[in-house]
Amino acid sequence: MAFFKEINKKVNGIIWSFVGTGIVLILLAILIVWTEFVLRVVVGLFVLVIAYAFLSAGYKIWRIKEDVKKYLKL
């Protein structure tokens, strides 16, 4: 039972990570319409946000894999 609680906790972390990234991307999309300088800054931030989302999701998926190994004793 603890195994499923741990997996549920990790999956919820991934979900919140993607929700947070989506909110930031929506705010960045709104900022795009202002000026050319803001557009450059927003594009740079967009790349950083996407990179963070992939790194964060990759780490959380790796932790799930480690928990599966631990609980199933593989």
| Residue 57 near residue 16 (C-beta atoms within 8 A) | no
pTM: 0.53
Q: What is the pLDDT of residue 51?
A: 86
CA nearest neighbour of 10 among 63, 51, 72:
63
CA 27 to CA 25: how far, in whole Å? 5
Q: What is the pLDDT of residue 24?
A: 81
Judge whether 48 lies within some domain. yes
Judge whether 1 lies within some domain. no
Judge whether 8 lies within some domain. no
What is the residue range of 18's domain? 13-72
Number of domains in the chain: 1
pLDDT tens track of the chain, all 74 residues? 777 787 788 888 888 888 888 888 787 777 776 667 777 777 888 888 888 888 888 888 888 888 888 888 76
CB-based contacts of 22: which residues, under 8 Å, 6+ apart?
Answer: none
Judge whether 6 lies within some domain. no
Judge whether 18 lies within some domain. yes
